[in-house]
Amino acid sequence: MIAVLNVRESAYIPASGDSADRKPIPVLTVSGRLDASTVHVLERALMRALSQDTRAVVVDAAEITYISSSGLRVLLAARRQIRERGGDILLCSLPPNVRDVMNMVGFTALFSIFENSDAAKQAAADMY
Amino acid sequence: MTPMPRLVVPARHDKLAEVSKFVASAAMDAGFGETVVNRIELAVDEACSNIIDHAYDGGKGAICCDVTAEPGQRLKIVLIDQGHPFDPASLPEFEPCRTLDDVKIGGLGLHLMRQVMDDICFEFNLPGVGNRLTMIKHYDRSSQRS
């Protein structure tokens, strides 16, 4: 049994606002099992997203089937990095088991979490 | 009491899912509900990660997993390794914080194990055995499968 994690990398471009402000916002759609053996896939995608001049990264967790502390650590590290430039990681569509794990360590009260990707993208656009 | 076949895997991160699923299957058979099964799977994953990263320090070795289910009563999980004794007390205690900037991430896995399991016992350098971690989850009404 091999754990599999996929991260689809796309960009959201807000429809409104000044053209200069309409920077693409990285959107990572994560699916599969997020544990110590697969976390590098998300880590690399986050690093690519953070290397862009962006203040927001949306992480759509709807299809994450499992998360361990390895996944939490990577999300936390990415958030710390983007906070240094006044930005944020916006999580959305958390499955119940992922929300449960985040609750156990108090992260749901600390991360920016949205019900769906539209809400997260809108919040990301509002940051500019 | 229903002992499951023993599972022995190389101490590698790519084997975490196999051990977790092995234990999750036993927990489901014992009647635990989905939420509790997911949490038990998490505790085993974190325990095995600690063995791989700390007891074996990323080197070669094996993890042996025994599960005993007492349906309606409890699930007992025993993980055995022959790595360096890993004293969890050597890790900093994870402390939930009011802001993410304050979070000290060390000990996160152990914190999750303690949140999930009712009893955890570490034993080191047992003659003819090695290091043994015993974790027990008691069955209660909130554990029931819906």
Asked if residue B146 has pLDDT above 60, the reply is no
Instruction: Write out the residues of chain B at the interface with chain A, using a CB-CB cutoff of 8 A.
Output: 12-14, 16-18, 20-21, 35, 38-39, 41-42, 45-46, 49, 52-53, 94, 96-101, 103, 105, 108-109, 111-112, 115-116
Size of interface A-B (CB pairs under 8 A): 78
Q: What is the mean pLDDT of residues B22-46?
A: 94
Q: Do A80 and B111 touch (CB under 8 A)?
A: no
Does the reported pTM lie above 0.80?
A: yes
Q: How far apart are CA B83 and CA B10, in angstroms?
A: 12
Q: Do B49 and A69 touch (CB under 8 A)?
A: yes
Contact B75, B67 (CB under 8 A): yes
Asked if residue B106 has pLDDT above 60, the reply is yes
Contact A107, A80 (CB under 8 A): no
Asked if residue B72 has pLDDT above 80, the reply is yes
Tokens 């690519």 appear where? A48
Tokens 């949490």 appear where? B39
Beta bridge partners of A112: A90
Query: Mean pLDDT of all residues in chain B?
Result: 89
Residues of B within 8 A of A76 (CB-CB) are: 100, 103, 105
Predicted confidence band of residue B43 (pLDDT cuts 50, 70, 90): very high
pLDDT at B100: 66
Give the residue extent of every domain in chain A.
25-120
Q: How far apart are CA B144 and CA B72, in angstroms?
A: 9
Tokens 């599972």 appear where? B7
Q: What is the mean pLDDT of residues A28-56?
A: 96
ipTM: 0.91
Residues of B within 8 A of A104 (CB-CB) are: 111-112, 115-116
CATH number of B2-143: 3.30.565.10
Q: What is the mean pLDDT of residues A84-92?
A: 95
Topology adopted by domain A25-120: Transcription Regulator spoIIAA (3.30.750)
Give the residue extent of every domain in chain B.
2-143
Contact A121, A25 (CB under 8 A): yes
pLDDT at B97: 63
pLDDT at A26: 97
Q: How far apart are CA B109 and CA B44, in angstroms?
A: 10
pLDDT at A44: 98
Contact B25, B45 (CB under 8 A): no
Q: How far apart are CA B10 and CA B80, in angstroms?
A: 12
Q: What is the mean pLDDT of residues A31-40?
A: 97
Polymer length in residues for chain A: 128
